[in-house]
């Protein structure tokens, strides 16, 4: 079976609950809190019609899940993908709760998705689907309630349509209802790069901790979209050599180093990194096993599983993607001495700058990119330090440490608020 086929057999919600259970056990959480945090607070399923370009009406299914609102409004992206499921959205929403807590920003966790392959839609159909989906989930979203953002296959344009649709319903412009908007509509400088930038900050921190010289390090990146392609560029800027990248079209390898800017240009032109001149074609399975110092999974869930974890040769796995490693794979990587920077820490730069965007929107303010990046670095470095300290203190791996920090913060907020009524 290929990595993709294996990934499809693993339920991300079961993975998310398993990761939570491990932390809850370690923290000795009381059974009531454990039950509350183990389930989403709200899960909305919507089915809605869209008139396609040929006049035919198609019905789509989408979801918006709010996992926990204890520390603030729900926050989390919207995914458009043919394999979206309620269990995937629940897992992603729970991970958002922990992510916001681990970096200490005042949000709970949410996530949304629509079952659709957006590459098969025209721009007009994509806009119609986005506007109707926004309308359907408008019973949940709002700048004080639940604030969506981009995720797989959604971008600043999709966020602009969401913001406009919500604003039309309100009768006035509400920029704070979504983040990841275009700069011209109240988007933040640096938001587009934030997930990758935050991830690279954590790689720099990990390398310093491990005594690894990044200027001598080689890097492989799985997934070449917003998170992956920008992470490749930024880690190259740190002096590392990117030798392999992949996307749904396949992978490419050049042990002497890939020219990242040219690969980005090639992907823009051809829709995939595959076929890039001067590089060897490799499969996504081979990419994960490439001899390198740093592996950055930046695609989808369950890519590193028990089936292939033993073949990972990287010393650092930096999880730009959400949920790329299964709990079984975690144990194998840990036993093999691989240092994992867990997703809820590694890719938290995206939601952190989303938080900055929301603050700017509410204050009708606009910060420079230098200010955004400096504030992001401060939060990523501090959070990495706190998780590393927990890992050393409790003698647990970085994922469990990140969960201990995050779940404790959410449990404390839950306890302080008390039980209503």
We find the least distance from the C-beta atom of residue 395 to ligand NAD, in angstroms, to be: 28
Indicate the residue whose CB is closest to ligand NAD.
Answer: 225
Q: Which residues bind ligand NAD (CB under 6 A)?
A: 4, 150-153, 195, 222-228, 246-248, 284, 298-300, 320-322, 347, 350
| SS3 letters across the chain | CCHHHHHHCCCHHHHHHHHHHHHHHHHCCCHHHHHHHHCCCEEEEEEEEEECCCCCEEEEEEEEEEEECCCCCEEEEEEEECCCCHHHHHHHHHHHHHHHHHCCCCCEEEEEEEECCHHHCCHHHHHHHHHHHHHHHHHCCECCCEEEEECCCCCHHHHHHHHHHHHHHHCCCCHHHCCCCCHHHCCCCCHHHHHHHHHHHHHHHHHHHHCCCHHHCEEEEECCCHHHHHHHHHHHHCCCEEEEEEECCEEEECCCCCCHHHHHHHHHHHCCCCCCCCCEEECHHHHHCCCCCEEEECCCCCCECCCCHHHCCCCEEECCCCCCECHHHHHHHHHCCCEEECHHHHCCHHHHHHHHHHHHHHCCCCCCHHHHHHHHHHHHHHHHHHHHHHHHHHCCCHHHHHHHHHHHHHHHHHHHHCCCC
Separation of alpha carbons 222 and 284, rounded Å: 7
In the complex with ligand NAD, the residue whose CB is nearer, 78 or 332, is 78
User: How far out from the chain centre does Cα 139 lie?
Assistant: 24
- Residue 120 annotated as catalytic: no
In the complex with ligand NAD, the residue whose CB is nearer, 26 or 327, is 327
We find the least distance from the C-beta atom of residue 55 to ligand NAD, in angstroms, to be: 29
Separation of alpha carbons 292 and 296, rounded Å: 11
In the complex with ligand NAD, the residue whose CB is nearer, 212 or 279, is 279
In the complex with ligand NAD, the residue whose CB is nearer, 66 or 322, is 322
In the complex with ligand NAD, the residue whose CB is nearer, 33 or 246, is 246
For 223, list phi and psi in degrees, rounded to 5.
95, 125
In the complex with ligand NAD, the residue whose CB is nearer, 222 or 305, is 222
CB 250 within 8 A of CB 228: no
Residues 6+ apart with CB under 8 A from 26: 394, 396, 400, 404
We find the least distance from the C-beta atom of residue 210 to ligand NAD, in angstroms, to be: 23
We find the least distance from the C-beta atom of residue 35 to ligand NAD, in angstroms, to be: 27
We find the least distance from the C-beta atom of residue 222 to ligand NAD, in angstroms, to be: 5
> Residue 72: which region, alpha, beta or left (left: phi > 0; alpha: psi -120 to 50)?
left
In the complex with ligand NAD, the residue whose CB is nearer, 240 or 320, is 320
Structure tokens at 359: 């603050």
We find the least distance from the C-beta atom of residue 192 to ligand NAD, in angstroms, to be: 8
Polymer length in residues for the chain: 421
We find the least distance from the C-beta atom of residue 254 to ligand NAD, in angstroms, to be: 18
- Which one of 75, 111, 267, 315 is the catalytic residue? 111
In the complex with ligand NAD, the residue whose CB is nearer, 146 or 247, is 247
We find the least distance from the C-beta atom of residue 81 to ligand NAD, in angstroms, to be: 8
> Which residue numbers are catalytic?
111
């Amino acid at each position: 079976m290929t990595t993709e086929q294996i990934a499809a057999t693993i339920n991300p919600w079961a993975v998310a609950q398993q990761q939570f259970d491990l932390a809850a056990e370690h923290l000795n959480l009381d059974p009531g809190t454990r039950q509350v945090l183990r389930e989403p607070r709200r899960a909305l399923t919507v089915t809605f019609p869209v008139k396609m370009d040929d006049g035919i009406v198609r019905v789509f299914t989408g979801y918006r899940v709010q996992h926990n609102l204890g520390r603030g409004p729900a926050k989390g992206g919207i995914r458009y993908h043919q394999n979206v499921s309620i269990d995937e959205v629940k897992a992603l929403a729970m991970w958002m709760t922990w992510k916001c807590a681990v970096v200490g920003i005042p949000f709970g966790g949410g996530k949304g998705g629509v079952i659709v392959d957006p590459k098969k839609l025209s721009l007009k159909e994509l806009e119609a689907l986005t506007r109707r989906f926004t309308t359907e989930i408008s019973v949940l979203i709002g700048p004080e309630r639940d604030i969506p953002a981009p995720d797989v296959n959604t971008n600043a344009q999709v966020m602009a349509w969401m913001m406009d649709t919500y604003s039309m319903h309100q009768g006035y412009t509400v920029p704070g209802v979504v983040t990841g908007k275009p700069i011209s509509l109240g988007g933040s400088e640096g938001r587009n790069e934030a997930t990758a930038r935050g991830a690279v900050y954590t790689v720099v921190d990990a390398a310093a901790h491990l005594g690894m010289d990044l200027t001598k390090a080689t890097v492989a990146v799985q997934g070449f979209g917003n998170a992956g392609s920008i992470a490749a560029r930024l880690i190259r800027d740190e002096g590392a050599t990117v030798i392999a990248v992949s996307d749904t079209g396949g992978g490419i390898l050049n042990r002497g180093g890939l020219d990242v800017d040219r690969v980005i240009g090639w992907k823009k032109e051809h829709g995939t990194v595959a076929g890039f001149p001067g590089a060897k074609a490799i499969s996504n399975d081979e990419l994960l096993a490439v001899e390198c110092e740093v592996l950055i999974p930046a695609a989808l869930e369950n890519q590193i599983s028990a089936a292939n974890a033993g073949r990972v040769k990287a010393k650092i796995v930096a999880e730009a993607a959400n949920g790329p490693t299964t709990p079984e794979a975690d144990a194998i990587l840990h036993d093999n001495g691989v240092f994992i920077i867990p997703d809820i820490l590694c890719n938290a730069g995206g939601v952190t700058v989303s938080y900055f965007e929301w603050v700017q929107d509410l204050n009708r303010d606009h910060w420079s990119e230098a200010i955004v990046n400096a504030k992001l670095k401060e939060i990523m470095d501090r959070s990495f330090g706190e998780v590393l300290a927990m890992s050393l203190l409790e003698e647990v791996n970085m994922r469990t440490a990140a969960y201990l920090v995050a779940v404790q913060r959410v449990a404390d907020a839950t306890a302080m608020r008390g039980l209503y009524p």
